[in-house]
Amino acid sequence: GIDHRRWLSQINPKLDALIRDCTGGDQYLLHPEALKDFEKSVDDKTVLKQLEDIKIENKRRFAAWVARESGVTLNTDAIFDVQVKRLHEYKRQLLNVLHIIHLYNQLRDNPNMEFTPQTYLFGAKAAPGYHVAKQIIQLINSLAGQIAKDPVCKDKLQVVFLENYRVSLAEKLMPASEISEQISTAGKEASGTGNMKFMMNGALTIGTLDGANVEMHQQLGDENIFLFGLTTEQVNQRKRDGYRPHEIYLHNQDLKRILDQITAGFDDKVAYPDLSNRLLFGAGGSQADEYMLLADFDSYCDAHRRALAAYADRQHWNQMSLINIARSGIFAADRSIQDYARDIWH
């Protein structure tokens, strides 16, 4: 579990104050189940407005910090969509990239389309010898540069790879996040705790039924999380049946275009044929698209459309955010240690 004293109270003081106002004190600091009382305010428009204002302030504060650290100006009017975790193929940062290129192509094809402004934030470290992970990091930065210089994307689409992802950065980022990307291939993530920290700070999850997302879904129900993708059993069945990603490539024109773009590279003249070949044919003994990115692509795009539709209804979104916060107490480390003491150590 996670420590809500640090990952909520300490890093998000305005939210902490709002919870205390709504629950009659600071009981949740020692009894995390007391967070449930916050849900009683789910229909209180004043509280929902305060919750939204806190998020806006946190976004602005984070953007000011990023500007000081790296000189990058974040669009705080855009939804902050965040994927921060170790860079690993099974965590599927590359699936996130495929979707961003899909959005970029839409804007290029139709510059005047209705488009919810979106800022995609990545943060990750990779093992020094993990060549594929390093290529994915370079691709994210290539794409970020391409989008940043294209006038069609101005104030609409932005990608930023945050340098040197670490706890002190996470403490500033999590209170500012609105969408939490938890998109590992079902059956691959042992647990994960970042997803709980995002939930506790009111971000909504786009995720697969994998790792701790499973327990989060049990707490939230279908209506307060954006699930997508194959289940663990479906992944295993697809592989048993003989999964052929190249057939998806041939029949999905959208995906074919995206993979061809990765193969050719963007305006910085860096090409990534190794990455597209891994997905289509496998490499170095690995299966083609071992982590089922192409199989889950359409479902993932649909989850994003659902999330943006919810985001457009501000009251509904803020209610979902409040419910996520109120139901996050079960993920406190205090609760898991209590369970160990009672059920295992006696």
> For 124-163, how does the pLDDT look when each residue is reduced to its tens digit (9 = 90+)?
999 999 999 999 999 999 999 999 999 999 999 999 999 9
> Rounded distance, CA 145 to CA 132, Å?
20
Report pTM.
0.97
For the stretch 182-204, pLDDT in tens is 999 999 988 889 999 999 999 99
pLDDT by residue (tens digit) across 281-306?
998 778 999 999 999 999 999 999 99
| Whole-number pLDDT of residue 238 | 96
> How do residues 264-279 score in pLDDT, each as one tens digit?
999 999 999 999 999 9
Separation between Cα atoms, residue 126 and residue 186, nearest integer Å: 21
Burial class (CB in 10 A: 0-12, 13-18, 19+), 307: buried
pLDDT band for position 325 (cuts 50, 70, 90):
very high
What pLDDT, on a 0 to 100 scale, did the predictor assign at position 284?
77
C-alpha to C-alpha distance for 113 and 227, rounded to whole angstroms: 26
What pLDDT, on a 0 to 100 scale, did the predictor assign at position 192? 82
Please return the burial class of 106, using the count of CB atoms within 10 Å of its CB with bins 0-12, 13-18 and 19+: middle
* 121 phi/psi in degrees, rounded to 5: -110, 125
Average pLDDT on 38-53 reads 98
CA distance 82 to 201: 13
Q: Is the pLDDT of residue 64 over 90?
A: yes
DSSP state letter for 294: H
Q: Which helix (H) or strand (E) holds 121?
A: strand 118-123
The predicted structure's pLDDT at residue 191: 81
* 275 Cβ contact list (under 8 Å, min separation 6): 94, 132, 135, 136, 139, 262
Other C-beta atoms closer than 10 Å to the C-beta of 5 total 17
Residue-averaged pLDDT of the chain: 97
Helix (H, G, I), strand (E, B) or coil at 9: helix
Whether the per-residue pLDDT at 324 is higher than 90: the answer is yes
Amino acid 276: pLDDT: 97
